Chains A and B, each alone.
Chain A
Amino acid sequence: MISKAWVISGVLLAMPAFAEMQALDDDTLSSMNGQGGVYLSGEFSINKDGGVLWSKPASNNPSTWTASQRSCATAGATTPENCGMRVAIRSEADGGWYVLDNLKGVFSFEGLTLRTRTINSGFGGDGAAFNQDVLEFGLPNEVKFKDGSFAFGVANQGGWQNKSLSAANGGNPAYQQTNIFSAKIDGTIRMQGNVLVFPQN
């Protein structure tokens, strides 16, 4: 027992002696090539269970909603749905608004890489002439969407207002939004490749 302890502590004592830190000089350091880079995986969910502005009403009939309720189900659907994020932009003084509405869902990816790379060859001959560093984003092999959706449209007010409620009840009969199109995405998109980013003079 005692001998083992001595051996262990002896080894422990001895190890620092072999691995003593020595400062590398600049020449040696600059010739080292480290593998720098980042590997990212992530999951984003936007308004998966609804947002902060509106709560989910009991029906899809806008005239039955209270002032803080809104359902974003598609036209003709029977069950109400939570609403996603809304972004509205106006590009003209006193003009109307471009609206990205009902942006919601779960978006996840694995294996997005980020590193710098020197390109001075390849690319069908372009690499040698290019001879610069680039920032390389490696696309994830798969991007998964779950219940993703968004709608693009135009409106005469930035915030959404209920057209079928009177102003006294918290609505605005003069509100008009024209949806140009909306989309829902579900499933996996397989992709591969790199996006190379570099400055242009």
Chain B
Amino acid sequence: MRGLWFVPVVLFTHLAQAELVALEDSELSAVQGAGIGFALEGILFDASQATITINDITNGSGQNVPIAVKEFYLGATGSNKGATLNPVNIGRLSQPFTVSLAKGEDLRSLRADGAFVQTTPSNLSVLEFAFPAMINGAGGQACISGFAGAGSNCSSRASERVDMGVRFDFQVAPNRIDVLNLDVTELVMDGSYLRLWGDSSRAQLVGEARMNIFAKTMDLMSCAAGSANCVSAAEQAARTIYLTNAYANVSLGYGKTQPLLFDVTSNGQFVLELPNPVLNPANPSANVDTRSGIGKARADDFYANAPRTNVFIGNLNFGGTRPGAGQAPSGGYNFGQSEIRGLSINYLKVTSRDL
């Protein structure tokens, strides 16, 4: 019980003694604001004994198509598709998961060239849920081991990467079950976050989000191991789609001029919107000349600093076989490398509708 009191006392004395000094930008990027850090120690999840069914996806005649989620596992790398699960630490004590309330001007986001830039608006409080942060400089780890193209800004080391797997069974027709069996190795999601704040000119909750997924390998098998045509290693390999050295940096929203808006309309449909960054949010129908003045300043700032979306697949292969763990498969149909680089959205509005 004494331990609990110990921590806040230390904080208060520390604050009283430390003289206030303006932080440099590089130091500022490390400041997280007031918050709580989480690190997971020795984690292991195995839901193979539980049945999870996702409903509410209907077929063409309105009947429910249940999706059974089976064989979910999460453990340390080297689990051999969940066969030998060992516990893993996720999130480092120096770079943990965080939930924090910070000032908009204190938060930073990593830009493609390695600089940390401010993306959230100033003078308001932002609630942030973040995965372990990215690091620039000493201490940065290769985000995909043995592959330089994914960068070296991750903070999680090899011992903090996970193997994860899940199997979905879709009962699509009375006599047909589609199986999608996903196994991911060396998965890390450093640098992902969700930030939420209130926007007064739009009178609603808005946000910005980034999701980074780095995986050494992803195997998608379309049959259930042990079922018909899916017994021997050769049969299973022929029915597998392999991704090697794949990563995605999905960026939605640039808080200063293009926050992510998620609304529900009055007729019960959802709307996901990324507004035009050069327009005035208080009067979006007013024209703004982007060739000069404030319009050009907003456009230039958006293109220079807003995080972009990239999707990269180092090697995509249908039906081959991996010569060794983490290596690109041989045989099968080799689609080679594919990428979408530098996706920037000037405007997006997605509205759901009844089918």
Where the two chains meet, the residues of A that have a C-beta atom closer than 8 Å to any C-beta of B are 34, 36, 74-77, 90-98, 116, 118-119, 123-124, 126-127, 129-130, 132-136, 139, 145, 151, 154-156, 175-201
Contact = CB atoms under 8 A, between A and B. Distances in A.
B264 A195 contact: no
B217 to A, nearest CB: 23
A88 B7 CA distance: 37
| Most chain A CB inside 10 Å of its own CB: which residue of B52, B69, B202 | B52
Contacts of A155: 264, 268
B265 A199 contact: no
A187 B39 CA distance: 27
A151 B57 CA distance: 12
Contact of B56 (A151, A156, A194): A151
B11 A154 contact: no
Contacts of B62: 75-76
Contact of B50 (A90, A119, A188, A193): A188
Contact of A127 (B44, B52, B93): B93
Given A151-B55, A183-B54, A194-B40, 8 more contacts: A76-B63, A92-B264, A96-B266, A176-B268, A180-B270, A184-B52, A189-B50, A200-B37
Contacts of A192: 42-44, 87
B119 to A, nearest CB: 20
Contacts of B280: none
Given A154-B264, A182-B56, A119 B93 contact: yes
B263 A95 contact: yes
B338 interface: no
- The 5 A-B residue pairs whose C-beta atoms are closest, nearest first, are A96-B264, A176-B268, A187-B50, A92-B204, A193-B43
B267 interface: yes
A21 to B, nearest CB: 21
A182 B53 CA distance: 8
Given A75-B56, A176-B267, A198-B36, A132 B7 contact: yes
Nearest to A91: B205
A129 B58 CA distance: 53
B92 A123 contact: yes
Given A133-B3, A182-B54, A200-B36, A76 B205 contact: no
A185 B52 contact: yes
Given A145-B50, A192-B44, A196-B41, A154 B58 contact: no
B238 to A, nearest CB: 32
Contacts of A77: 64
Given A36-B1, A181-B54, A154 B98 contact: no
Given A36-B3, A93-B204, A194-B40, A182 B55 contact: yes
A199 to B, nearest CB: 6
A177 B264 CA distance: 10
Contact of B93 (A34, A91, A130): A130
Contacts of B92: 123-124, 126
B54 A75 contact: no
Contact of B203 (A92, A175, A182, A193): A92
Contacts of B36: 197-200
Nearest to B61: A76
Contacts of B52: 183-186
Given A198-B36, A199-B35, A156 B264 contact: yes
Contacts of A183: 52-55, 69
Contacts of A96: 263-266, 268-270
B64 A124 contact: no
B125 interface: no
Interface string B71-103: 000000000000000010100111010101000
Interface in B2-55: 3-4, 6-7, 11, 31-47, 49-55
Given A91-B205, A133-B7, A74 B64 contact: yes
Given A75-B62, A181-B56, A185-B52, A193 B204 contact: no
A95 B100 contact: no
B46 A193 contact: no
B229 interface: no
